[in-house]
Every structure is written in C-alpha cells, then in structure tokens.
Amino acid sequence: MDVKQLFTALTLLLVSNIGWAQKNESDQIYCTALQQYTLSIDTFYSKYSNNKGAKVKEIFLQKPEFVDSIPSIVNGYTIILITSANQRKLYKDHRNRLTHTIMFPLTNKGSELFITITPYRGELKRNNYTLGVSDGTTIYFKFDCEKQTYVVDKVKNWGI
C-alpha cells in the first residue's frame, strides 16, 4: 500500500468515525427525551388516573426514521417499535386499538431546542388507520457549556 492509499484509507476511517459519533450523539438526545417522557407518564398517571390498579408498561412507538437506535426498555417501560411491516399485526393483536406514540424530530424555535412525543389513540377500521390526539409531552433542552452537551431544561405536558 502506497502513501496515497494509506492516507485515503485513514481519511475515510476518520470521516466514518466522526459521522458515527455525531449520529450516536443525536440518538442520545432522543433517548434522553424518551426517558423524560416515561417519567412524565408515571407522574401524570399517579396524579390524574382514577384507575389505581396495575398500569400497562408498554409504549408503542412509531419507528422514527431519524434515529438509528431506540432501547427496548426505558425506565421499566417496554418500547415496541411500530414499523410498516408490523403495524397491522400490532393493531390486530390489540383489538384494532393502540396507543400509537410518535416522537417528532428535534426542533428549534428561537433559542429553544425541543422534542415532542405524542401518544395518539390509534384505531384500525376497515383497513384505515385513524389517530386521535388529546395530549403530549414536550422536552426542552439547553446546552451545558461545562459538559459540552445538551441537557434537559424543562418538561411540559400539554393537552387539548
């Protein structure tokens, strides 16, 4: 291998590692948002629910195209990814009704960065899916200069 080939190989390796690190950091902010969302569910459930029995610890999350890796368990909640390949079966397995959760891409508005996670009342009727929204959670982030990373600033639950 001559010097030019070695230089090209090292450059490609460096660029691929930088790209992987950036994607990994991007995935991390979405995992943090999902962790905050599960904590928000626990708080909301204990405060407002009339049902004091066992609660379902599953989140049916539409597979975000902008995230490579979602953990299968977050704060005791099993994360079940909804894809085009399994969506129909998941709905059928749950009597054509599902809490169909969608995580939206990181958004900035002015100096605020946030991720919104919305649980929809999903229903399958005669080969058509309908989603009804009533509430959601928005997780806001700020940049921590000392840690050189984004950290959670605040979490807001909202409803219609």
Instruction: Note the pLDDT tens digit of each residue in 22-44.
Output: 446 678 999 999 999 999 988 77
pLDDT for 56-92, tens place per residue? 799 999 999 999 999 999 999 999 999 999 999 999 9
Cβ neighbours of residue 159 under 8 Å, at least 6 residues apart? 134, 135, 136
pLDDT band at 46 (very low <50, low <70, confident <90, very high): low
pLDDT of residue 149: 87
Residue boundaries of the structural domains of the chain: 3-159
List of long-range contacts for 6-11, beta carbons under 8 Å, 24+ apart: none
**Rounded distance between C-alpha atoms, residue 128 and residue 142, angstroms:** 40
Give the residue-averaged pLDDT of 140-156.
Answer: 93
pLDDT of residue 8: 47
Look up the pTM and report it: 0.79
pLDDT of residue 52: 52
C-beta of residue 138 within 8 angstroms of C-beta of residue 36? no
pLDDT of residue 10: 43
pLDDT for 91-144, tens place per residue? 999 999 999 999 999 999 887 899 999 999 999 998 899 999 888 999 999 998
User: Which two tokens mark 142?
Assistant: 């700020």
Flag whether pLDDT at 21 surpasses 70. Answer: no
Amino acid code (one letter) for 30 = Y
